[in-house]
Structure 1
Amino acid sequence: MTGAHRRILVVEDDPETAGQLVDQLTTSGYDVDLAANGREALNHGAARDYAVITIDRMLPDIDGIAVMRQMRDDGIVVPFLIISALGEVDDRVRGLRAGGDDYLVKPFSFVELLARLEALGRRSETVAKETILRVGDLAVDLISRTASRGGRKIPLLPKEFQLLEYLARNEGRVVSRAMLLQHVWDLHFDPSTNIIDVYVGRVRRKVDDQQAYPLIHTIRGIGYCLRAPG
């Protein structure tokens, strides 16, 4: 890893362990940010681009599993290295299924930690190259959480970005209101609200107004589709 790809977020609530990790990683050439709990981790993850996040399973407020799931739901694709004293097979499987990319059991060798970070960092660089979704002249950057059309930045609120991202991931496919409720708002029922139509209207105005052709199409009675002409 080089340059910006050497920035790591360490999520660890034990001060002694956290201090050792930060000191050793800094000495090894990494730029390190520290989060002492789950809320700090979520704030850091949303604000900065990391090559890898190391995370403890047992945190004092939001546990590591929940933190990873929330970041994945928010579209954060950075690799997670889980570092935990919970080393049973079921623990490791649960952590990996929740969004972890690797699992290291305490106590561990720092040499092994570095090797795993290097491997995940190489994966991170590859993923970063593949995380700009393009539909026509629309670009949706999953790393910076920004969108642009024809090179012009589109100002989007977080939920608006999530909606556009989901449509872009399903380019050319019809997405129902129920699918948007589930994947953008995490609702598994119809609350009899027009929230979908309101948000799609906002995003459509930002994406399609004063453009040569529309990208967001309403499929009457079903939902919406993001597609370029031709």
Structure 2
Amino acid sequence: MRVLVAEDERPLAELVATGLRRAGFAVDTVHSGDTALDHLGLHPYDVLVLDRDLPRVHGDDIARRLVAEGSPTRILMLTAATTTEDRVTGLDLGADDYLGKPFEFPELVSRVRALRRRAARPPLPPLIERYGLRVDTVRRTASRDGRDLDLSPKEFTVLQILLEADGAAVSAEDLLDRAWDAHADPFTAAVRVCMSKLRAKIGEPALIRTVQGVGYQL
């Protein structure tokens, strides 16, 4: 897995890079926005750890460009701007995740790993018809046998993850990692409760089954 760290504070950039290398990632570092774009044009990076306040080309502009180009590189914004408004702006620009400074290093590694798993999955087609379900991944709507399911955003995300698995079981841990934010408590019943509601809305005959000791399967 290849990661580009774009951070203008050189000591911090080297600290992040060293830690990620110890976690098993191949890491390059750059300290300005134009250099980041040069590297991104030359190498197929899986994840970009991006400081928003880069010199010469702002981090926001880099995010916009990657989104406009349809780049498969996932973006983790790493920045001291940590208000809710800052986070919303960063995510709206195209960042896949957002981590404020200062941060705990295990959390950074976990978030990078999660982005890599997300990047490895091919995107679903805009319209999926399977098992009587009709799922529009663009409008994020779903129906079964012509009946609208009226799913919450979380329920739709869980259904989409199960569809992406293409018949394979998905663990509760993976669902929690992908459908909930990084602050979700892994010991809560959040996944079980959401799955119960999703099953009820999909109706009978049941499409989602529990694979004992493994997870959930559509």
TM score, norm. by length of structure 1: 0.52
Q: Distance in 1 between matches of 2:17 and 2:86?
A: 25
Q: Which residue number in structure 2 is paired with residue 21 of structure 1?
A: 16
Q: Structure 2: state its 5+ residue gaps.
A: 126-218
Mapping for residues 113-124 of structure 1, pairs under 5 Å: 113-124=108-119
Q: Find the residue that maps to 1:87 and give its secondary structure.
A: coil
Q: Distance in 2 between matches of 1:9 and 1:15?
A: 14
Q: Distance in 2 between matches of 1:67 and 1:13?
A: 14
Q: Which residue number in structure 1 is paired with residue 25 of structure 2?
A: 30
Identify the match of residue 2 of structure 2 among 7, 10, 16: 7
- Deviation for aligned residue 1:129: 9.5
Alignment root-mean-square deviation, CA: 1.6
Are the equivalent residues in 1 in contact too, given 2:14–2:29 (CA < 8 A)? no
Identity %: 37
- What's the CA shift string for 1:128-160, capped at 9, x where partnerless? 898xxxxxxxxxxxxxxxxxxxxxxxxxxxxxx
Q: Which residue number in structure 2 is paired with residue 89 of structure 1?
A: 84
- Deviation for aligned residue 1:75: 2.4
Structure 1 residues 118 and 66: alpha-carbon distance in aligned structure 2, compared to 1, 3 A threshold: same
Task: Extract structure 1 runs of 4+ deviating beyond 4 A.
Answer: none
Q: Distance in 1 between matches of 2:124 and 2:79?
A: 30
Q: Distance in 1 between matches of 2:104 and 2:52?
A: 18
Q: Find the residue that maps to 1:76 and give its secondary structure.
A: coil
- Deviation for aligned residue 1:15: 0.7
Q: Distance in 1 between matches of 2:74 and 2:94?
A: 9
Q: Which residue number in structure 2 is paired with residue 139 of structure 1?
A: none
Identify the match of residue 45 of structure 1 among 40, 43, 52: 40
Q: Find the residue that maps to 1:126 and give its secondary structure.
A: coil
- Deviation for aligned residue 1:119: 0.6
Are the equivalent residues in 1 in contact too, given 2:46–2:72 (CA < 8 A)? no
Are the equivalent residues in 2 in contact too, given 1:42–1:71 (CA < 8 A)? no
Q: Distance in 2 between matches of 1:129 and 1:28?
A: 30
Identify the match of residue 75 of structure 1 among 70, 75, 79: 70
Mapping for residues 183-194 of structure 1, pairs under 5 Å: none
- Deviation for aligned residue 1:127: 3.7
Identify the match of residue 98 of structure 2 among 79, 96, 103: 103
Are the equivalent residues in 2 in contact too, given 1:45–1:76 (CA < 8 A)? no
